[in-house]
């Protein structure tokens, strides 16, 4: 199996192309500064992952920027910190400020020469529109949780994307899913039969960061520590 065998590359955005852990921590900084307890980066991210996943399961049709506001409220309550409705809204609206990884825009520009590029994301359309500006490429399709009415790892999101791409003339075997989260993306991709690439952005870090731990048995077909590594492997295939 080769990267160049596939016509469509479908991407998770946040964690894969956008550095959401840095973005989350930056947006939580006003709350963290009020906290008398000194919490590690890993502890903060793990708490975020727990509350975000619980809120997505509880309110699968809630718009993501509103959902993030609820996550902020949950974190403030858990840590015993006073926060206003404006504080919750500010965190919910922070997605557009989350930075892209340094290699994302150039990698996407290269891959666009050879593949259709598609986004499958857990955010809302408005938030993604801000992130798109940082990625510098015109995606061939974008499917968000707002469009679908549920959040990954719900298999409904992947089936929605597969059906939409089939309607555009792409068979399932044309699709390669590219993502960082084993929990949100690779496990459901396994379940629906999609091939996948793990962009292991947390290669040397302990734990699972801003995502819950993956289920047992999750697998993937390619593994790279960055989008730049994926591009180099793609170039190697073309040179062979």
Give one DSSP letter per residue of 137-172, joined into a string: S--SEEEEHHHHTS-TT-HHHHHHHHHHHHHTT--G
Cβ contact 150:124 at 8 Å: no
Measure the CA angle with vertex 126, ends 177 and 140; round to 5°: 40
Judge whether 12 counts as a catalytic residue: yes
Rounded to 5 degrees, φ, ψ at 100 are -80, 150
Give, for 223, the enclosing helix (H) or strand (E). strand 222-224
What whole-number distance in Å separates Cα of residue 186 and Cα of residue 22?
Answer: 22
Say whether the peptide bond before residue 154 is cis (omega within 30 degrees of 0): no
Q: Which of the following is catalytic: 12, 87, 124, 154?
A: 12
Which residues are tagged catalytic?
Answer: 12
């Amino acid at each position: 199996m080769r990267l160049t065998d596939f016509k469509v590359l479908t991407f998770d955005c946040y964690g894969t192309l956008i550095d959401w852990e840095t973005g989350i921590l930056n947006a939580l900084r006003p709350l963290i500064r009020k906290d008398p307890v000194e919490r590690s980066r890993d502890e903060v991210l793990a708490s975020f992952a727990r509350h975000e996943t619980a809120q997505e399961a509880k309110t699968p049709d809630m718009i993501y920027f509103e959902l993030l506001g609820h996550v902020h409220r949950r974190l403030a309550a858990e840590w015993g910190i006073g926060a206003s409705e404006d504080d919750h809204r500010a965190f919910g609206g922070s997605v557009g400020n989350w930075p892209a990884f340094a290699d994302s825009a150039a990698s996407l520009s290269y891959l666009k020469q050879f593949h259709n590029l598609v986004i499958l994301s857990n955010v809302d359309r408005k938030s993604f529109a801000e992130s798109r500006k940082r990625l510098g490429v015109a995606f061939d399709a974008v499917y968000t949780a707002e469009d679908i009415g549920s959040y990954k790892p719900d298999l409904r999101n992947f089936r929605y994307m597969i059906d939409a791409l089939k309607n555009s003339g792409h068979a399932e075997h044309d699709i390669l899913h590219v993502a960082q989260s084993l929990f949100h993306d690779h496990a459901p991709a396994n379940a629906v039969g999609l091939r996948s690439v793990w962009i292991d952005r947390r290669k040397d870090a302990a734990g699972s960061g801003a995502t819950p731990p993956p289920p047992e048995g999750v697998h993937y077909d390619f593994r790279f520590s960055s989008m730049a590594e994926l591009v180099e492997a793609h170039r190697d295939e073309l040179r062979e």
